[in-house]
């Protein structure tokens, strides 16, 4: 640096992909932020709280989790990112704003490829790179060799997203203004856990993540990734990365985090009452009032489900406790553009009788016979609500989650007047948790089936809990990297 303020560019391509989802993520599925819309993701940056560095927004692309990304889509987005980086190169720093669990057809360890290509375009070995990630991201050795300052959320559900991005910006600013290139310690933690067993609202994840907040002397940042269990690739696992100036301190802290995680592996349990769908429906029937929530966990679109799995619907339409129960029930949602079009042609009040489900290729379909109750159209696409007695079935033209009271209100469902809500979701998002009068999780089939031990993995590295036994008294094998490699 020559006395000028250091410059850093923010770029990223981020999503989370299940190997088991028939859906493919296309270029059209990505939203691309630029300019102020990137900076608003980093509250401390535009408000001047990270004053020492000029952060320049480049393109940041993000898509809803789903199936693997088409290679042509990744190539097109990468080109856009590299063009922006090259246009202002050389940079002092790069801040990657990414999720970290992207799959691209025909590639492995995509984020390591992205980081290497961006570093090359930004100016090579001299550039300092940071990354703000989701704790469900994957962190391979190759990624950490390239990125000096990776960090991730400390909460799931993720209520600390802006703070995490700001923390990454501050770490980068610290490195750029002090001239110190911190070392980082990395450890693959040989454990794969579904997200619903690692909520930080409950133990042992609560204590593990709390222990990162106050790192020992010589440590800048202590970060722990749970990883993403539904990706069938070599890097799939939890991981710890600890960054700082003191090589011994970071190695020790990284080992501590990894060993504590492994020692707790059998204590991770579903973060709520969990069982089969029939069991969940029994629990709903016994509940005194609503709304009672059942998470239909196997096809949760925000965890990588395709949204086209109709297995639960098949069970609901056959259950008179649901279709003729004491109050209204709603199932959300099935992506079925054909079903939505059919409902629009039939019109409100008309009889609907269609096979639905499997629009991306999931084999289970269901016969849906009812009445077109409502049609809606908003920025997330078209919606048709089909009614069978007390059950309302939400069909959507595009993949979309139902995470808030407003998401339901926009399709004409008043949760306060609904007795039973069956939702393709995992743990309840905060707003739904607030209105729920009871909640259970149903273990259902789909691309993000929580019973990962039953799924067919072919490419993961071993050993990996729960597929392999780990040695009693497992000790962390920590690697330390200094300059960018
Ligand atoms: Zn996540």
Q: Flag whether 383 is in a domain.
A: yes
How far apart CA 237 and CA 224 sit, in angstroms, is: 11
Q: What pLDDT band is residue 268 in, cutting at 50, 70 and 90? A: very high
Dmax (CA) for the chain in angstroms is 75
Question: Are residues 263 and 345 located together in one domain of the fold?
Answer: no
pLDDT at 3: 62
Q: Flag whether 455 is in a domain.
A: no
Query: Does residue 16 register a pLDDT over 60?
Result: yes
Q: What pLDDT band is residue 50 in, cutting at 50, 70 and 90? A: confident
Query: Does residue 32 register a pLDDT over 80?
Result: yes
C-alpha of residue 34 to centroid of ligand 1, in Å = 23
* Cβ contact 296:275 at 8 Å: no
Question: Are residues 385 and 351 located together in one domain of the fold?
Answer: yes
Query: Does residue 46 register a pLDDT over 90?
Result: no
Mean pLDDT of 266-278: 95
Question: Are residues 199 and 264 located together in one domain of the fold?
Answer: yes
Lowest mean pLDDT among 1-10, 21-30, 192-201, 253-262: 1-10
Question: Are residues 426 and 316 located together in one domain of the fold?
Answer: yes
Which own/partner contact pairs does 36-41 have at CB distance under 8 Å and 24+ positions apart? 38/10, 38/97, 39/10, 41/97, 41/162, 41/165
Question: Are residues 205 and 336 located together in one domain of the fold?
Answer: no
Query: Does residue 170 register a pLDDT over 70?
Result: yes
C-alpha of residue 163 to centroid of ligand 1, in Å = 15
C-alpha of residue 115 to centroid of ligand 1, in Å = 20
C-alpha of residue 4 to centroid of ligand 1, in Å = 37
Mean pLDDT of 272-298: 96
Question: Are residues 444 and 314 located together in one domain of the fold?
Answer: yes
Mean pLDDT of 161-177: 97
Query: Does residue 1 register a pLDDT over 50?
Result: no
Question: Are residues 28 and 157 located together in one domain of the fold?
Answer: yes
Per the structure, the complete domain to which residue 344 belongs is given by 274-449
Average pLDDT, the chain: 96
C-alpha of residue 82 to centroid of ligand 1, in Å = 26
Question: Are residues 237 and 347 located together in one domain of the fold?
Answer: no
Mean pLDDT of 16-25: 97
Q: Flag whether 2 is in a domain.
A: no
Extended strands (E) in 208-261: 219-225, 238-244
- Name the domain count of the chain: 2
Q: Flag whether 428 is in a domain.
A: yes
State if pTM tops 0.75: yes
Mean pLDDT of 436-465: 95
How far apart CA 346 and CA 339 sit, in angstroms, is: 10
Distances (CA, A) of 292 to 95, 412, 436, 443: 42, 18, 6, 17
C-alpha of residue 100 to centroid of ligand 1, in Å = 9
Question: Are residues 201 and 342 located together in one domain of the fold?
Answer: no
Residues 6+ apart with CB under 8 A from 177: 6, 52, 53
Mean pLDDT of 4-24: 96
Question: Are residues 252 and 285 located together in one domain of the fold?
Answer: no
C-alpha of residue 98 to centroid of ligand 1, in Å = 11
Q: Flag whether 454 is in a domain.
A: no
Mean pLDDT of 249-275: 96
């Amino acid at each position: 640096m020559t006395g000028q303020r250091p410059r850093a560019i923010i770029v990223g391509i981020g999503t989370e992909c299940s190997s088991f989802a028939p859906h493919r993520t296309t270029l059209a599925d990505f939203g691309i932020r630029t300019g102020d819309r990137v900076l608003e993701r980093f509250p401390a940056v535009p408000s001047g709280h990270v004053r020492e560095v000029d952060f320049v927004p480049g393109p940041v692309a993000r898509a809803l989790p789903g199936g693997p990304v088409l290679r042509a889509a990744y190539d097109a987005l990468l080109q856009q990112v590299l063009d922006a980086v090259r246009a202002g190169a050389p940079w002092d720093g790069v801040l990657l704003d990414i999720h970290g669990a992207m799959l691209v057809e025909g590639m492995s360890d995509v984020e390591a490829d992205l980081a290497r290509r961006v570093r090359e375009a930004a100016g090579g070995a001299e550039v300092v790179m940071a990354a703000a990630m989701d704790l469900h991201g994957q962190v391979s050795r190759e990624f950490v060799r390239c990125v000096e300052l990776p960090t991730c959320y400390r909460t799931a559900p993720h209520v600390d997203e802006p703070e995490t991005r700001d923390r990454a910006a501050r770490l980068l600013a610290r490195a750029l203004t002090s001239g110190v290139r911190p070392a980082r310690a990395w450890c693959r933690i040989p454990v794969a856990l579904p997200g619903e067993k690692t909520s930080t609202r409950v133990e042992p994840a609560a204590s593990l993540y709390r222990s990162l907040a106050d790192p020992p002397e010589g440590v800048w940042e202590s970060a722990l990734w749970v990883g993403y269990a539904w990706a069938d690739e070599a890097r799939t696992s939890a991981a710890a990365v600890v960054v700082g100036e003191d090589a011994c301190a970071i190695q020790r802290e990284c080992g501590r985090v990894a060993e504590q995680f492994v020692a707790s592996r059998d204590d991770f349990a579903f973060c709520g009452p969990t069982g089969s769908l029939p069991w969940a429906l029994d629990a709903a029937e016994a509940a005194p009032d609503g709304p009672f929530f059942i998470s239909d966990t196997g096809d949760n679109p925000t965890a990588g489900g395709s949204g086209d799995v109709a297995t639960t619907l098949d069970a609901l339409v056959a259950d008179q406790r649901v279709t003729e129960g004491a109050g209204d029930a709603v199932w959300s949602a099935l992506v079925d553009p054909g079903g939505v079009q059919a409902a629009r042609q039939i019109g409100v009040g008309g009889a609907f009788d269609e096979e639905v489900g499997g629009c991306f290729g999931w084999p289970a379909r269901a016969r849906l016979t009812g009445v077109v109750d409502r049609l809606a159209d908003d920025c997330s696409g078209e919606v048709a609500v089909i009614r069978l007695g007390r059950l309302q079935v939400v069909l959507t033209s595009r993949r979309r989650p139902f995470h808030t009271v407003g998401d339901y209100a926009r399709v004409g469902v008043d949760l306060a007047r609904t007795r039973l809500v069956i939702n393709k979701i995992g743990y309840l998002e905060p707003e739904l948790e607030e209105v729920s009068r009871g909640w259970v999780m149903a273990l259902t089939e789909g691309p993000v089936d929580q019973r990962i031990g039953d799924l067919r993995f072919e490419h993961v590295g071993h050993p990996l809990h729960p597929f392999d036994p780990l040695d009693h008294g497992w000790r962390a094998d920590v690697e330390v990297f200094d300059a960018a490699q």
